[in-house]
């Protein structure tokens, strides 16, 4: 059975489906444009933003140069920070998140499959994640930004983070594949998939309005249920 299918079945047995948090979560591969879209939606909806914990992460740079040593502590760092973010978001009416706790299992699985995380560490990570999700509400909507590997690499080079430049293409290819697989099984909340390969919602107003309308229409559909 697919690893992600197993994961979502585990989560489904634990979470409280009747409680929904008024939150939009944006997810997708590294460099796809999550933060840029979040900033646009914050301006459009007036929701409070919750940024991905990257700038104050003491392990991220070390991880890219020594994955086996820092894989497990890095994943626990993200898990802890994102769990705290979800708890804070539950107290507010209207939040937008740049990634969240839900998609982190993608990275943990890749690290385990690649031999950078021990199987016992991965099992512990999944158990801890499942236990945490018992205590947080599901988001109203998750937006998955689909893209091609070439576009991801192009954007990564453009933003110029040193630790991302040393990563081989094969890693980004596998990450993109894992994201597509993961969101084929995702069942925690309503989901909107947007392919952004031919969209520039940062600099092109037509593209921006197109994406905003997709999201508004999806939210209207959700609110009618």
What would the mean pLDDT of 16-26 be, rounded to a whole number? 80
153 is written with which tokens? Answer: 């690499």
Which one of the listed residues 93, 98, 181, 207 is annotated catalytic? 98
**Complete domains list, the chain, with CATH:** 3-224 (3.40.50.300)
pLDDT at residue 113, as a whole number: 92
pLDDT at residue 1, as a whole number: 45
pLDDT in tens, 170-223: 888 888 999 999 999 998 889 999 999 999 999 999 999 999 999 999 999 998
Please answer whether residues 218 and 141 qualify as being in contact, where contact means their C-beta atoms are separated by less than 8 angstroms. Answer: yes
149 contact partners, CB below 8 Å, separation of at least 6:
169, 172, 173, 176
Name the average pLDDT for the chain. Answer: 87
Taken in order 115, 171, 169, 177, is the CA torsion positive or negative? positive
The order of strands in the sheet holding 95-98 is 48-50, 95-98, 20-27, 138-146, 191-195
Is residue 98 part of the annotated active site? The answer reads yes
Question: Has 49 been labeled as part of a binding site?
Answer: no
Q: Which candidate, 108, 79, 85, places its Cα nearest to that of 97?
A: 85
Question: Has 53 been labeled as part of a binding site?
Answer: no
- Angstrom distance (rounded) from CA 134 to CA 121: 20
Q: Examine the pLDDT at 60 and tell me if it is beyond 90.
A: no
Tracing tokens 């990563």 back to the chain, one arrives at 167
Question: Has 168 been labeled as part of a binding site?
Answer: no
pLDDT in tens, 113-124: 999 999 999 999
């Amino acid at each position: 059975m697919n690893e992600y299918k197993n994961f979502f079945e585990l989560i489904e047995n634990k979470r409280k489906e009747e409680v929904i948090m008024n939150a939009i979560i944006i997810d997708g591969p590294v460099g796809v444009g999550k933060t840029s879209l979040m900033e646009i939606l914050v301006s459009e909806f007036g929701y409070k933003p919750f940024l991905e914990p990257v700038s104050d992460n003491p392990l991220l740079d070390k991880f890219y140069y020594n994955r086996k040593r820092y894989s497990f502590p890095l994943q626990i760092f993200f898990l802890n920070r994102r769990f705290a973010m979800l708890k804070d978001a539950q107290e507010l009416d209207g939040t937008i998140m740049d990634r969240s706790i839900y998609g982190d299992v993608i990275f943990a699985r890749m690290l385990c499959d690649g031999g950078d995380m021990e199987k016992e560490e991965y099992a512990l990570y999944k158990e801890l994640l499942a236990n945490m999700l018992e205590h947080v509400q599901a988001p109203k909507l998750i937006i998955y930004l689909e893209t091609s590997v070439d576009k991801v690499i192009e954007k990564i080079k453009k933003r110029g983070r040193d630790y991302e430049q040393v990563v081989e293409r094969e890693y980004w290819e596998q990450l993109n594949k894992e994201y597509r697989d993961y969101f084929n099984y995702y069942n925690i909340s309503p989901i909107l998939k947007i392919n952004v390969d031919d969209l520039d919602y940062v600099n092109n107003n037509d593209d921006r309005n197109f994406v905003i309308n997709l999201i508004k229409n999806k939210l209207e559909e959700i609110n009618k249920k």
